[in-house]
Amino acid sequence: PTRFACHLALVLDAVQQRYSAKCGAVDTATRAEVVDRYVDHLQAGGGQIKAVAYYTAQLPPEDGVRRYSQFLETLEEDRLRQEAMEAAEQFHLDWKALTVETVCRIRKERQQQLLPPVPEGRLSADEQKEVMLLRLMTLRPGARLHALVQCNASVRSFVGEGKLQAGLECVDAMPANTLDLCKSLIDDPSGEAGPFYKESLREFQCWGLYLNAMRNASLWHNHRDCVPREADHVSVVGAQAGQSLSREAAASLARVEQRRRQQKWDEQEKVKRQKALSQLQDVLTYPFGWLQDIEPLHSDALRDCTIKERAEQLPKLRRRCLPEVMQTLLGILQSTQQYDCMLELATVLADNAPTNGAEALLDSFSPDQLKGVLCALADGRAGYEQQRAMKA
């Protein structure tokens, strides 16, 4: 009965469109309600994807996006979600609006829920779903700017909750050609990408640098905690005689093996440390200022709730993340006794004056945080003088 009523409503609607002058008006609200009920029936029956897409596309555009977005969220497998997106495009559902609607709703629902903690380095089911939908948004090159905006929004949410791994997963979900593709879309004179999208592209680069810097710092700390132990007693069986080496020869071989392992560990530690230090310092010296806009957005743009939310979040996240980066950087330099680099860092900070309306780096620090930085730099100065005295 539901299917028959749905088809009858669609036929009457088609008749109205062709003979509207003769037939008079047909209640579109009733038609939408009948179709909506049939969509409910299809979803409850296991959700034939193409059928759901077809009948959802018969609803008014906003209702269709909302209903199909809810349907997308019920699909558990990436294969089914991909099939659903292809069906949406086939039946002319608003692809961009659909993905944006889905990602935004999942993010809001996740923020409102009190979810149990998950093991460090892993994502919850809702977080995985949010990242997966971002990947779906990148499948259409024309939607890449919209995907970038939603990626930034998800990253801001995750970083604000202290979930750096989830934020990194969002950044990694963007394909390698994202920056070049978005730049071409922004530079296209026939396009509609204004200052907001330019600043969104810059924000994405800021998040990528910060999250990768913190990841590499974490990898260095993990490596640092795994110092190679003294090699166990080594017993080598002679290839021909079939007899073990003497105790002295085995001990000598163990020392050689220990030196080899230590040398390999030292080389790996140096590479990881230099990579982390370079990226952490790049965050602090990011051109014009990390997580700051170059082009101020017009007041008209700030009426958009998404853009307004972003404008409120960025300064808070800057004040949260920059002291963390500074503390991490100084911690690595102190623990490895690179006091000369600490003095160079002090010079960099002194030269980092505000330009073009951007705030200075240290303006993001509270008085207590700034005091901690200055004390660490003073300790670095004392360590540097001590190293010089020892060499003399």
> Which pLDDT tens digit goes with each residue over 193-248?
677 888 889 999 999 999 999 999 999 999 988 877 655 444 444 444 445 556 77
pLDDT per position as a tens digit, 261-274: 889 989 999 999 99
What is residue 174's three-state secondary structure? coil
pLDDT per position as a tens digit, 134-182: 887 777 777 788 888 889 999 999 999 888 999 999 999 898 888 888 8
Q: How far is CA 297 from the centre of its chain?
A: 23
- Please list the residues that pair with 237 across neighbouring strands: 244
**Burial of 219 from C-beta contacts in 10 A (0-12 / 13-18 / 19+):** middle
Q: Is the sign of the CA dihedral 184, 185, 190, 192 positive or negative?
A: negative
Least confident of 34-38, 240-244, 387-391: 240-244
Q: Give me 268's structure tokens.
A: 């790996």
Confidence of residue 283 (pLDDT cuts 50, 70, 90): very high
pLDDT at residue 51 is higher than 90: no
Give the per-residue pLDDT at 302: 53
Mean pLDDT across the chain, nearest whole number? 77
HSE-up of 28 (CA within 13 Å, CB side)? 11
Q: Give me 169's structure tokens.
A: 């997963």
pLDDT per position as a tens digit, 62-118: 877 777 777 777 777 767 777 877 787 787 777 667 777 777 776 776 666 554 454
